[in-house]
Amino acid sequence: MRYRLVIFDWDGTLMDSVARIVACMQAASHDAGWGHLEEEAIRNIIGLGLPEAIATLCPGIDPERAELLRSRYAWHFVEGNDTPMSFFPDVRSGLSELHVRPGQRLAVATGKSRRGLDRVFHESNSGHWFHASRTADETRSKPHPLMLEQLLEELAVPVTEAVMVGDTEYDLEMARAIGMDRVAVTWGVHAPARLASSRPAFTAQTVPQLFDWLQGG
């Protein structure tokens, strides 16, 4: 194996959930009286913790309206929106194969909340693949590297034996901050040129290419 620990981002990397996030954030913004948010602006903040995302999308928003927007986003995402979400093709088989490799450890580092990640683990029957996970509401939001540092400590893996896989510069920059190798995937929200500025060890154009590389191919 190339790395004893592979840490994955979730939205836009493993799961095709971007359309749902965009629709729910736009609906929540209207509910909170902030007005229309452009799709590209929302795509840009995917990966951040929700408070950080709202502060970036809505500069100068007051705390009361920010909390309303946050709560309405959560409602739309869980109950008010049925935009389909699923793993990208070949992700399920790739994770299954990695999971059974002797000595291999898998983890998730995501901008989701703990409640949100546990829900999607349950709904997708995927939580058993991962040995540990960190969410933005129980540590610090990307691009701060605290969630990676905590995962390394919990799983007792040195940074030289771990890699971060993600579709945004937030994923790659939090790994870069602690000298962790990083892999960019191009099917998510940030453009390849933007990802390249973080100097990934590898850039995957397709899901099979990613898992083949992670397995040492």
Where exactly are the structural domains of the chain?
5-16+87-214, 18-80
Q: What pLDDT score was predicted for residue 140?
A: 95
* CA max distance for the chain: 52
Q: What pLDDT score was predicted for residue 83?
A: 87
Q: Which residue has the tokens 């994955």?
A: 8
Q: Which residues pair with 163 in a beta bridge?
A: 6, 181
- Are residues 3 and 162 in contact, defined by beta-carbon separation less than 8 angstroms? yes
Print pLDDT tens along the chain (217 aa). 789 999 999 999 999 999 999 999 999 999 999 999 999 999 999 999 999 999 999 999 999 999 999 999 999 998 888 888 999 999 999 999 999 999 999 999 999 999 999 999 999 999 999 999 999 999 999 999 999 999 999 999 999 999 999 999 999 999 999 999 999 999 999 999 999 999 999 999 999 999 999 998 7
Q: What pLDDT score was predicted for residue 81?
A: 85
Q: Please provide the CATH number assigned to the domain covering 18-80.
A: 1.10.150.240
Q: What pLDDT score was predicted for residue 52?
A: 94
Q: Look at residues 80, 74, 78, 34 and name the one whose alpha carbon lies nearest to residue 57.
A: 34
Model pTM score: 0.94
Burial of 137-169, coded b for 16+ CB within 10 Å and e otherwise, reads bebbbbbbbbbbbbbbeebebebebbbbbbbbb
Q: Please provide the CATH number assigned to the domain covering 5-16+87-214.
A: 3.40.50.1000
Q: What pLDDT score was predicted for residue 43?
A: 93
Q: What pLDDT score was predicted for residue 152?
A: 98
CA distance 195 to 185: 8
- Are residues 214 and 97 in contact, defined by beta-carbon separation less than 8 angstroms? no
Q: What pLDDT score was predicted for residue 128?
A: 95
